[in-house]
Amino acid sequence: MHSSPSVVPPGSDIGVPSVGIPAAGEPSDAVPPVDEQAAVALTQELVRLRTVNAAGATTVEQPAADLLCRLFTEFGWPHDVVEVAPGRPNVVAVVEGGGGPGRTLMFEGHTDVVTEGDAAAWSVDPYGAEIRDGRLWGRGAADMKSGVAAMIYGVRALQQEGPFPGRIVVGVLCDEEGLMLGAKAFAASPPAAEVDGVVVCEPEGYEVCTSARGGIRLRLDLRGVMAHGAMPQEGRNPLVAGARIVAALAEAEKWAAGRYGTHPHAGTVTVTPTVLCAGDPDQLNVIPGHGVLGIDVRTVPGTDHAELVERVRRTAVTAAADVGVTVELTVVDDRPAVEIAAGHPLVESLVAGHRQVHGVEPPFGAVPGTTDGTILTRDAGLPTVVYGPGGKWIAHQKDEYVEVREIAEYARVYAVAARRFLDGSDARTGPGSKSLRPEGGDMA
């Protein structure tokens, strides 16, 4: 993917907290002052830690968790460290507002990153956290160590401003780049039952993402008959079957687009072959007996996953049958598309925060993939919205970066949005209220 140019909203010069003009009837409170230098420095410290989520790694997030625990201790924030897998901790802090009962708002992020790939292809040190041309460069700068720093210093700014009702949960969860083990563990824990809304601080380029595409990862095992390459009539070739299935998937994708329609932000369903392997490069004269085809399916709100998987299965079986190859389909992972209503108090608070800091309305959008928020919604029923520093298309690429000014900008928005959400006139009157949980179609 190509990175899209960063959007520069009005009044967003680094170090200048733009307040904007509140809409009629909205509070005109000043934006809480954010320790911008500290937020940028924390981002740099995190980027310099090579917390790559690699297969077989025994330590991934632990160095970042240690750093954040020291910081939370310095702030006086009570926090728990839960090891979800060896060397894979969740770090969850709870910041009590001191202003009486109220809602519980969660800010969520992760510190694991994908590999840098070929370091020689980078124009900067992938883990140098260099600041140049107004940008902070390095793996994880956008996805999403700047988001983690922004949410921490946004909460810190609000806390230092004075008491607020309710509490804020600061959750730094592990394994987002893998199977989202951290989000699954948190969703199953008692603290999740107390959360009324979650802001996922992933990079979305100033968009308030009220929807996120779902994901289905499929593995097709293609079983044929091994034979000599000189006598193809004696074999049944899984590679030929794979090629036919790949071609047929275009029709399955077309069917899905017609069946489930075009979402205003998430687009249409995509069915993308990603892996096709069979045979041995050292034995080019052998027709293999087995092959594997991998498929990445992305869905939109309203998609019936079971129906779509069955459509793909039948498409593959039919395409392979002509060459005598059988197909066994396995669902490796299944994450639903999720959506929150634009009128939900969580979204309205975030929009108001953006407007107050930037003086303009934010665009709405969709997360092209899935986030921890997908799991928190699916497994715990938590309302989630995604909004964080960095461009959404720069993630996982070489020369990843975040605009330095965005770190403090987002921290300010988080502080304002949190204050508005926690000050809500319909705030819960006691612990455990689920009044803000999705009902009547708030989430899909």
Question: What are the tens digits of pLDDT across the range 339-365?
Answer: 999 999 999 999 999 999 999 999 999
Q: What band does 58 get if pLDDT is binned at 50, 70 and 90?
A: confident
Contacts of 4 (CB under 8 A, 6+ apart): 205, 391, 392, 393, 394
pLDDT at position 372 over 80: yes
**What token pair was written down for 207?**
């968009």
Dist. CA 299–CA 335, nearest whole Å? 9
pTM of the model: 0.88
Question: Is the pLDDT assigned to residue 2 strictly greater than 50?
Answer: no
Q: Which of 53-57, 265-269, 387-391, 437-441 has the lowest mean pLDDT?
A: 437-441
pLDDT level of residue 17 (50, 70, 90 thresholds): very low
Instruction: Give the three-state DSSP class for 369.
Output: coil
The pLDDT value given to residue 19: 40
Please tell me the predicted confidence (pLDDT) of residue 437.
56
* 420: nearest Cα among 156, 103, 139, 133: 103
Residue with tokens 């929009």: 351
Cβ(320)–Cβ(236) below 8 Å: no
From CA 29, how far away is CA 193, in angstroms rounded? 31
Beta bridge partners of 48: none
d(C-alpha 241, C-alpha 297), whole Å: 20
- Best CA proximity match to 63, nearest among 127, 111, 114: 111
* Among candidate residues 155, 151, 154, the one with its CA nearest the CA of residue 77: 155
SS3 content of the chain, % helix, strand, coil (to 5): 35, 25, 45
For residue 219, give both structure tokens: 């593995």
Residue with tokens 């910081």: 71
CA-to-CA separations, 440 to 339, 435, 443, in angstroms, rounded: 12, 12, 8
Instruction: Give the residue ranges of DSSP H helices in 195-304.
Output: 238-260
